[in-house]
Amino acid sequence: MPRRAESKYRAVTAFQRKLNAVMRRLPLQTLLETTGRTSGLPRRTPVGGRRVGDSFWLVSEFGERSQYVRNIKADPRVRVRLRGRWHTGTAHLLPDDDTAARLRALPRLNSAAVRVIGVGQLTVRVDLDG
């Protein structure tokens, strides 16, 4: 990763750590819960995305460097909290998906932030169970 991108990644992740601690507590914030690949503990990350039928779509701003993406690679079973209700599902990483097109179909504010701060975006689809 080029030096500038690395600096951006470090600055953004430091800020997000603090912001996410607050966002996780908001009752209607969409959360993605993965299982920590080392600890085995539940890890909850505020995300922006959209449910389409029985799938939930999101774009990771740092692709495979995102901790939740690394957790998904180790164990794709996840939960998503949508409008205060938890749904179980299986996450799929889609490296061949057009993230720019995908972001146009997702909520505007989050998509704008992902475009501005992201480096190496990656689409994630969660197939929700029944």
| Residue 54, domain CATH | 2.30.110.10
b/e per residue 48-61 (b: at least 16 CB within 10 A): bbbeeeeebbbbbb
Task: Tell me what percent of the residues of the chain surpass a pLDDT of 90.
Answer: 65
Domain that holds residue 99: 3-128
Residues 15 and 2: their CA atoms lie apart, in Å, by 20
- pLDDT of 78 above 70: yes
Indicate whether this model's pTM tops 0.85.
Answer: no
- pLDDT of 56 above 90: yes
Residues 39 and 20: their CA atoms lie apart, in Å, by 19
Residue 42: band (very low, low, confident or very high) from pLDDT cuts 50, 70, 90: very high
Mean pLDDT score, 57-84: 96
**Comparison of pLDDT for 102 and 7, the residue scoring more:** 102
Mean pLDDT score, 28-42: 94
The total of structural domains in the chain comes to: 1
